[in-house]
């Protein structure tokens, strides 16, 4: 295993987002020179040097990528009705700009799942992979399922449901298995592949220690948040559209995002390849520990669980 080189210049897209805001300081601590790409650099208060860039404006990417060694692509338009086309256009533009800039490596955080009958959300993630890989720049992909951490959309949906409801009715997707991963492990893996030549041109699956149904995830989260299990009744018919409207009534997740997330829950998303642990050693956290860390982060920020 070769160690990632220190002193690399790294462009981080999505620097103000759920993953990016945690990744920027972790990269700096690992000795990287971080360039945080944002549409509002004057308002940026995170780690690294803020630079202007917008994946929707290809001409802005040239300056952002100038002199960069590695670029991390953390862009996704899940809350937009036309997110598939937006994501495809953005990925194509960014890949072309990265190739023109002559960078050493692209890193992308995608989604776990098989190759057939994917939801629109997961299909879009896979399409973006292909577009980013279509140049001469080596691409490293990390595929994850639900990421558990304060502020993450999937986790916030879970947290708010079990916090706000005394009982829950769920459709058949609740029996689908998934492999949630703590945000701390995601950051650890991302830092570990940046500038690591052994990761160039490779796709890795990343997951936490537990494989759970969505029902089990809701129950365990309820036990940690409320101190008791949540009564859950499964029903045979409840469409993603109806589920999204119901969710929008009891959470602050917008219906479009909720519908896209719920539609993806019909796909079993499990880690079948653990080769990432050879490159980035360490055991991943279990779901309950990830939940406790997410709740602890909220408490430290002065927010209720």
Which residue ranges make up each domain of the chain? 9-145+181-206+270-278
Q: What angle do CA 111, 150, 127 make, to 5 degrees?
A: 15
Contact 35, 68 (CB under 8 A): yes
User: In the 8-state DSSP scheme, what is residue 144?
Assistant: E
- Cβ partners under 8 Å of residue 189, min gap 6: 142, 204, 206, 276, 280
Helices marked H in 133-196: 153-164, 183-193
The H-or-E segment that residue 241 falls in is: helix 240-250
The pLDDT profile of the chain, 305 residues, written as one tens digit per residue, is 444 555 899 999 999 999 999 999 999 999 999 999 999 999 999 999 999 999 989 999 999 999 999 999 998 876 566 778 888 999 999 999 999 999 999 999 998 877 667 777 788 888 999 999 999 999 999 999 999 999 998 898 889 888 988 888 777 778 889 999 999 999 999 999 999 999 999 999 999 999 999 889 999 999 999 998 888 887 766 666 666 666 777 788 877 777 777 777 777 889 999 999 999 999 999 999 999 999 999 999 888 88
**Cα separation, 41 vs 262, whole angstroms:** 33
Residue (of 181, 187, 147) closest to 23 by Cα position: 187
Residue (of 191, 211, 212) closest to 272 by Cα position: 211
**Which pLDDT belongs to residue 70?**
98
Question: What pTM was computed for the model?
Answer: 0.92
Residue (of 46, 30, 34, 106) closest to 70 by Cα position: 106
Structure-block tokens of residue 259: 């519908």
**Which pLDDT belongs to residue 224?**
95
State how far Cα 20 lies from the chain centre.
9
Phi, psi of 43 (to 5 degrees): -100, 0
Domain 9-145+181-206+270-278 class, CATH top level = alpha beta
Q: Within 10 Å of residue 158's Cβ, how many Cβ atoms?
A: 24
**Which pLDDT belongs to residue 262?**
73
């Amino acid at each position: 295993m070769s160690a990632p080189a220190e002193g690399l210049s790294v462009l981080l897209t999505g620097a103000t987002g759920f993953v990016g805001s945690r990744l920027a300081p972790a990269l700096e601590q690992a000795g990287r020179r971080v360039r945080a790409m944002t549409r509002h650099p004057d308002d940026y208060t995170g780690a690294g040097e803020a630079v202007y860039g917008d994946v929707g404006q290809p001409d802005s990417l040239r300056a952002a990528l100038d002199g960069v060694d590695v670029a991390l692509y953390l862009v996704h338009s899940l809350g937009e009705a036309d997110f598939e086309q937006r994501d495809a256009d953005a990925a194509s533009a960014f890949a072309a700009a990265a190739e023109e800039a002559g960078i050493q490596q692209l890193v992308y955080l995608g989604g776990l799942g098989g190759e057939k009958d994917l939801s629109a959300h997961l299909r879009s993630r896979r399409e973006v992979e292909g577009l980013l890989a279509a140049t001469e720049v080596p691409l490293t992909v990390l595929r994850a399922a639900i990421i558990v951490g304060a502020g993450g959309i999937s986790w916030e949906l879970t947290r708010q449901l079990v916090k706000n409801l005394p009982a829950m009715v769920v459709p058949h997707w609740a029996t689908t298995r998934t492999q949630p991963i703590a945000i701390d492990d995601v950051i650890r893996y991302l830092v570990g592949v940046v500038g690591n030549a052994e990761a160039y041109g490779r796709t890795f699956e990343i997951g936490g220690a537990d494989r759970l149904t969505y029902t089990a995830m809701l129950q365990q989260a309820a036990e940690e948040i409320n101190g008791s299990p949540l009564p859950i009744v499964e029903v045979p018919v409840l469409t993603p559209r109806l589920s999204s409207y119901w969710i929008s009534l009891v959470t602050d997740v917008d219906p479009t995002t909720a519908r896209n997330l719920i539609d993806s829950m019909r796909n079993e998303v499990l880690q079948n390849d653990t080769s990432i642990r050879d490159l980035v050693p360490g055991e991943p956290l279990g779901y309950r520990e990830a939940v406790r860390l997410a709740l602890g982060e909220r408490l430290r920020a002065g927010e209720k669980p």
